[in-house]
Structure 1
Amino acid sequence: MTSSDILAQQAGQLLASGDFAAAETLFRQALALDAGQVFALSNLAWMREQQGLLQEAQSCYLRALAQSPDDVHLLQNLGALLMRLRRPVEAERISRRVLALAPDMPSGWSNLGALLAALQRETEAERCHRDAIELDGGYANARYNLSYLLLRQGRLPEGWQMLEARPQPTAFGDYFRFPRWQGESLGDKSILICPEAGMGDMLMLCRYASVLRQQGASRVSILCHAPLKTLLQTLAGVDTVLAIGDAVPDHGWDYWTPILSLPCLCGTTLETIPLLPSYLHAQPQAVLDWAGRLPAARLRVGLAWKGNPGFENDAERSLASLDTFAPLAAVDGVQFVSLQKGAGENDISSAISLAGGGSALTDMADTAALIANLDLVISVDTAVAHLAGAMGKPCWLLLPDYLPDWRWLAGRRDSPWYPAMRLFRQPSIVGWEPLIGHVADELARMVAAKPVRTGKTA
């Protein structure tokens, strides 16, 4: 073993322990001794990816592949990186090279399937995922990737089953001293619904509390993200709402369930989605308080333009800035209201004058009170859109062409989950400008049909 190999091995141990800075120092020392040290290059590439330095990561992968051109794991990593860089043609070429080298590798087929699904070549994508599952029936990534494709196509029963292969939190099962619900009879039983993923999932699927009641549950509780606690106390069918960070007892229920498993366990199809015109509500006094703070206008329209920047597809689903909405400002008679909280809440635009929002919003119950005073919400795919939908407020949802979420299905302009929602889809990967122009035209038509508002009350 060379000195370079020894340094790279020590660096790998440091990386595994979480000491990234020391690991990088040793990796670089290893490369100073041997510029083609593959282990050092591949790990530096991974580190650069985690830091968002994608071009540097690509350079490291290419240097490693120059030394080991048939390393399928390096090729897979480079293919995934090229997809992050939105270079699908090169990514597909790399993915097919992986399969030429290792045709029996399930991950190769699943990765190609995910790539093809992102390019909306869904028939080919499905075949790839099923090939991966045939090679390894327990390969979770293939089942999880296939679930997104099936759910987008409205093939819900099999989609929900495949979704059970998703990465799931283990903390609840480790903590609670009562079992996870697997679909047993709920007659005279109590159940705790636990959070999973983001607030949008909780807002969309908390409606299943009523379904569990209909199945005989004697008591239904929800554990949720802290900003949702007050809001979810307005949900019918729920006895107790607890927030992450509260002192949650480890006993006292018969079952617990992660919220994303409820559609599967309840046998939901497109025809049996629990369709409620509104199931979350603003507090009356908070609604009145916001009514007194908003200027009178013929039409009040709430805007949300950014989601969580940590979301894997956020660069596509979020707008670059508030200025992207500038064409809406040409519509007379509209008072725009900011519903943005967190990322982007301090954005300003010379074109659009905003009321409300930002630091004035305390939690999602406060956002609900503000929405109650609006005529319309225009939002990217984030929790605000789910909140408007759950309240029955008209909402125009802006969806990217690249990887729109499964819950909005494929090709539809309406949502079977939210009767008052209208979907606006990018026509292709050309940015938001054409779609925002279309939204401005539709808004002008809405204003023309709207009677003049005479007061400030909601």
Structure 2
Amino acid sequence: MPHCSRRASAAPRLLISFTVPITTPLAPAPDDILREANALCEAHRFADALALLEPHVGHDAAADAAALAPALHLAALSATGTGDAPRAEALWMRCLAAKPDFAPAYTGLAALFAALGRFAQAEAVYQKLLVLTPADADARSNLGVVLQRQERYAEAEAAFRAVLAHHPAHADAHYNLGLLHQGQSRRAEAESAFRAAIAANARHAKAYNSLGTLLRDHGQGDAAAEAWRQALLIQPQYPEALNNLAMLFKASGKLAEAELAIRIALQIRPNFVDALNNLGCVLTDLKRAPEAEAAFRQTLALAPNHAEAHYNLGVALHALERLPEAEAAYRETVRRVPHRVEAYNNLACVLMALGRRSEALDVLHEAVAVRPDFAEAHFNLASLAKERGLLDEAEAGYRRALTANPDYGDAKFRLATLLISMGRFEEGFARYECRYAMPGFVHHATQRLLQCPVWQGEPLAGKALLLWQEDGLGDMLQFGRYARMLKDQGAAHVAFVCQRPLHRLFRGVEGIDAVLDHEAGAAASRQYDCWVSPISVPHRVRTTLDTIPAPLVFTPEPALVEQWGARLATLAPGPRIGIVWKGNPKHFNDAHRSLPSLAVLAPLWNVPGLRFVSLQKGRGEDEAQNPPASLPLLHLGTDVHDFVDTAAIIAHLDLVICVDTSTAHLAASLGKPCWVLLPHYDPDWRWMHGRDDSPWYPGTLRLFRQRADEAWSAVVERVRVACAGRFMA
């Protein structure tokens, strides 16, 4: 599945701790102007300070007087504050030309070069400064940072240690040494250095922030959060710490808190690229995809080469089902970051959704070539193999996914259903129990809800058992047959907890002593010895293809049979065919299993003498209530209250034709011939593979499978031919 990628701040990044004093020695004249300019700088009114000093430093004399050095230095600092780096550099060069031993100018110029990424020049200036002031601990610490930026790590470490040898309480040297160790994955030494920086300066916000990052990266979330909170207590307007704390909130599912923290960071620094990207990730998790898209586009406007933002934009567009745009974003990601296997996987998902399966297959193979143990790619390769009917290949793919990630819930579930569909019930149903370990499944919550243990297959003699519905109505009609078997094993009392549409039907089922709704069943669970889902029973009793119990036996209520018979008597003589063309729209595969409309079944009306009865309930009823004149239809679905009514109607029919929905299970359990139209894409595991019948309903159920790249009209034509053969022979 697509997922967002976030980026945390201060993952080790170098921050030079400059000591660049604003207050400078004053020239003999004009002292009042220097004092005023200095005050303006301290108030961060740099433009005003520069304007005040301009009349005194604006000219570029061939040789500036040494006495002008303080003013030139202060003007350079002011120019730096306004963002005018070229002007600042020129002023400092004039200052040093006028007074080559003016140390503050070296400090400022070196810091400027370092900020501009001109590290070799910064190094040279620091070296000159240290010749003038060998005991300048700040200069030596900053030299270490510049050396680190040039990847001269041993020299950088030597510089920091030289500072600490003479100044053990130099907080910035400890801090910079910590960043060096963090970048070299020397975790314990990095943590020690950050804590030493904090011990030397309890208000070192940057050390707290970096310590938090280190702790988070090693799974110490609570300690990391406390470090970031300390950083924010010291420096409330600290966007990096806010961003980092937000990502910790996001990881723990506190999305509202995460959004708030990032938005505060962005108020402080509106163009904070990583925070904008992370805001998009939080909004994606909050299912606010349009806002997430806007955040990622803003990120890319500021940083067009931000590969993670390209990837995350693809995730947002994917969620918005703007698939061609998502494809473009994922392709841009893999162009920029060829090893980003998640982008390959998501691109393949988009291509599958666009029906371009061959391309998707190629992309997934590229992903596996980049990372052979990439579980998601193996999962999707397996799913494509399954779709093409390559079941052994699909099985191997799901197993490879689980080898790469043994906790991969979707792969566990898909392998389980694949094995069941292949008739390998023992392993398949055993693996199907994985649904109880998957938080996204309703089954996971059942274990906490019920106040009795789950039945594991132990003897039931004299025990009271809850059969608990967790799955669909059709599932219960199919697996409710096991109630009789459990009763035969000696269970003293079997209560079936199910949804209300099943209540009247199951009150008459052999093996069931009571029928309860879920609220009543949960409240009474303490009174029972154990509980089990009907779909778990095949595993507990080791069902095989040869030992599937007989279907449920329903006896339609005579009064209802008579009542519905009066409605059906309005039809002209001829075979009566019940039809259902749409299932529950909430079903995960309903887009493929349901027919687009009643009109798809129109060819069936070409078989002479057939009379059609609509059992359609819910979506699709509007078509049945006003069918075209060419499709005469008796619609009864709207007046059906539950399955007991449907059973009474089916008792009057000669055949039921339907899509994969609960009506198929009911009709087959009633012993009525039932023909089911199955989609090519992801047909339900219960119908197995390569069969046109079902071992669960022998002799009554026939399957009409859609073939690859086949329209429903071709399937309906085969049904029409079968109808003609059955009723016109």
Alignment of 1:49-60 (within 5 A): 49-60=318-329
How far apart, in 2, do the equivalents of 1:447 and 1:402 lie? Answer: 31
Normalising by structure 2, we get a TM-score of 0.58
Residue 353 (structure 2) aligned to one of 84, 92, 115 = 84
Alignment of 1:245-256 (within 5 A): 248-249=522-523, 250-256=525-531
**Alpha carbons 2:579, 2:656 under 8 Å: kept:** yes
Alignment of 1:61-140 (within 5 A): 61-140=330-409
Is 2:581 the counterpart of 1:312?
no
Residue 654 (structure 2) aligned to one of 356, 375, 393 = 375
Match of 1:406 in 2: 685
Pairwise CA distance, 1:137 = 4.4
How far apart, in 2, do the equivalents of 1:400 and 1:442 lie? Answer: 18
Match of 1:144 in 2: 413
How far apart, in 2, do the equivalents of 1:96 and 1:156 lie? Answer: 31
Alignment of 1:28-427 (within 5 A): 28-35=297-304, 37-166=306-435, 167=438, 168=441, 169-244=443-518, 248-249=522-523, 250-276=525-551, 278-294=552-568, 295-296=570-571, 297-347=573-623, 348-419=627-698, 420-427=700-707
How far apart, in 2, do the equivalents of 1:365 and 1:358 lie? Answer: 12
Q: Quickly say closer, same or farther: Cα 1:390–1:57, change in 2 above 3 A.
A: farther
**Equivalent residue letter for 1:124:** E
Pairwise CA distance, 1:328 = 0.3
Is 2:710 the counterpart of 1:430?
yes
Q: Quickly say closer, same or farther: Cα 1:364–1:47, change in 2 above 3 A.
A: farther
RMSD: 2.4
For structure 1, which segment, 87-96 or 163-172, has the greater mean C-alpha deviation from structure 2 after superposition?
Answer: 163-172
**Alpha carbons 2:293, 2:317 under 8 Å: kept:** no
More helix by share: 2
Alignment of 1:22-33 (within 5 A): 22-33=291-302
The SS at the match of 1:378 is strand
Pairwise CA distance, 1:327 = 0.5
How far apart, in 2, do the equivalents of 1:173 and 1:310 lie? Answer: 24
**Alpha carbons 1:298, 1:447 under 8 Å: kept:** no
* Structure number with larger C-alpha Rg: 2
The SS at the match of 2:553 is coil
**Alpha carbons 2:706, 2:712 under 8 Å: kept:** yes
The SS at the match of 1:213 is helix
Is 2:725 the counterpart of 1:445?
yes
Pairwise CA distance, 1:387 = 1.5
Q: Quickly say closer, same or farther: Cα 1:3–1:204, change in 2 above 3 A.
A: same
**Alpha carbons 1:275, 1:416 under 8 Å: kept:** no
How far apart, in 1, do the equivalents of 2:319 and 2:630 lie? Answer: 36
Pairwise CA distance, 1:173 = 1.1
**Alpha carbons 1:187, 1:217 under 8 Å: kept:** yes
1:115-142 deviation line (CA, Å, top 9, x unaligned): 2111111222222223333445454333
**Equivalent residue letter for 2:421:** R
**Alpha carbons 1:194, 1:223 under 8 Å: kept:** yes
Pairwise CA distance, 1:215 = 1.8
**Alpha carbons 1:141, 1:165 under 8 Å: kept:** no
**Equivalent residue letter for 1:229:** H
Pairwise CA distance, 1:46 = 3.6
How far apart, in 1, do the equivalents of 2:305 and 2:580 lie? Answer: 48
How far apart, in 1, do the equivalents of 2:317 and 2:389 lie? Answer: 29
Pairwise CA distance, 1:56 = 4.1
1:406-450 deviation line (CA, Å, top 9, x unaligned): 21122212111112111122243211222211211221232235x
How far apart, in 2, do the equivalents of 1:31 and 1:358 lie? Answer: 54
**Alpha carbons 1:119, 1:402 under 8 Å: kept:** no
How far apart, in 1, do the equivalents of 2:308 and 2:560 lie? Answer: 58
More strand by share: 1
Q: Quickly say closer, same or farther: Cα 1:283–1:29, change in 2 above 3 A.
A: farther
For structure 1, which segment, 410-419 or 342-351, has the greater mean C-alpha deviation from structure 2 after superposition?
Answer: 342-351
**Equivalent residue letter for 2:704:** F
**Equivalent residue letter for 2:468:** C
Structure 1 residue runs of 5 or longer lacking an equivalent are 450-458
Structure 2 residue runs of 5 or longer lacking an equivalent are 1-8, 10-270
**Alpha carbons 1:341, 1:359 under 8 Å: kept:** yes
Q: Quickly say closer, same or farther: Cα 1:447–1:257, change in 2 above 3 A.
A: same
How far apart, in 1, do the equivalents of 2:323 and 2:289 lie? Answer: 17
1:204-232 deviation line (CA, Å, top 9, x unaligned): 11111111112221111122233222222
Pairwise CA distance, 1:376 = 0.6
The SS at the match of 2:611 is strand
**Alpha carbons 1:37, 1:64 under 8 Å: kept:** no
**Alpha carbons 1:191, 1:254 under 8 Å: kept:** yes
**Alpha carbons 2:421, 2:685 under 8 Å: kept:** yes
How far apart, in 1, do the equivalents of 2:646 and 2:468 lie? Answer: 23
How far apart, in 2, do the equivalents of 1:15 and 1:247 lie? Answer: 38
How far apart, in 2, do the equivalents of 1:208 and 1:171 lie? Answer: 23
Determine what percentage of the aligned residue pairs are the same residue: 40
How far apart, in 2, do the equivalents of 1:312 and 1:9 lie? Answer: 30
The SS at the match of 2:532 is strand
